[in-house]
Amino acid sequence: MKCKRALAVLLAVAAVFGVGYTNTFASGDVQAVSEYGDTESLVWNYTTGENTNGAFSVTANPWSKTVAIEYNGMSLSKAIKMETTTLIKFNAPSAGTLEVVTYAVKGDPYIEVNGKKYPVLKSGGVKIPVEAGDCTIKKDTSNTFLYYLAFTGEGGGTEDPGFLYGDATADGMIAADDAAAILQKVLLNSYSMPIEEKSAEWMKYIDVSDDGLLAADDALCVMQSVLVDSYKMPVIEKNQPK
């Protein structure tokens, strides 16, 4: 059976990166960042006390054993605990990204933003897409500590050029290396697929199972598409004219 063959190939791909690990990401996933943009922003920095126009309302307890970290030229030496009683609110004046700098004692830390679970780093920053309007940030995993927040609104940007569904390598073709790239992203959230460098809307092309998550079944759908000519990925079935 071709579908069984597709699964066997996918499992072989999984063997390259390691097995026995499951991780999924909310639609509109995060991207690891190396520097903060130059555009106007709202900043909350617990170390310096900065809180642009009082934009961030923070209810939290300080972390008494803060680990000092260096991030993008900043020395961050104070953090708050992400715990059950922690509640952070701000109003995003437009759609944009929320930069979150964290430290975590345990592996695979997460926080909750607007009711969705997002992975953050053990030491460093990620960007999380947010819509315009009220935004809330809460605890997900324990032993996670927050140093810095910065919201940046969407600029003019460039128009999304459009990609093939499942084309994680952004080379204009659907092949086994696309499935491998997706699976590597699932297994290692710090890995950046080539399409992430070319489109801020990459998730809509890679969530081919059309369930709002990035997971191993997306890689399986791509492999089935490669091996079975008649197979149509769920995202294509949904968007195909009736």
Task: Give the residue extent of every domain in the chain.
Answer: 31-153, 162-232
CA gyration radius for the chain? 19
Average pLDDT over residues 82-111: 92
Give the residue from 196, 127, 199 showing the smallest Cα distance to 157.
199
CATH classification (class only), 162-232: mainly alpha
CA distance 51 to 49: 6
CA distance 200 to 128: 11
Residue 192 CB-half CA count within 13 A: 14
Task: Count the Cβ atoms, other than its own, within 10 Å of residue 32.
Answer: 16
Residue 52 pLDDT exceeds 70: yes
Give the residue from 194, 90, 184 showing the smallest Cα distance to 99.
90
What residues pair up with 214 in beta bridges, in sequence order? 25
Q: Structure tokens of 22?
A: 């499951």
CATH topology of domain 31-153: Jelly Rolls (2.60.120)
Q: Structure tokens of 134?
A: 């009220």
pTM: 0.55
Look up residue 84 and give its DSSP letter: T
Amino acid at 43: V
For the chain, the average pLDDT equals: 81
Give the residue from 178, 217, 183 showing the smallest Cα distance to 195.
178
Instruction: Write out 19-49 in H/E/C secondary structure.
Output: CCCCCCEECCCCEECCCCCCCCEEEEECCCC
CA distance 217 to 227: 15
Q: How confident is the model at residue 108 (pLDDT cuts 50, 70, 90)?
A: confident
Average pLDDT over residues 26-49: 62
Q: Structure tokens of 91?
A: 């109003």
Q: What is the DSSP string of 135-187?
A: EEEEE-SSSEEEEEEEEEE--S--------TT-TT-SS---HHHHHHHHHHHH
Tens digit of pLDDT for each residue in 183-224? 999 998 888 899 888 777 788 889 999 888 899 999 999 999
SS3 label, residue 192: coil
Residue 123 pLDDT exceeds 50: yes
Predicted pLDDT at 204: 84
CA distance 172 to 1: 28
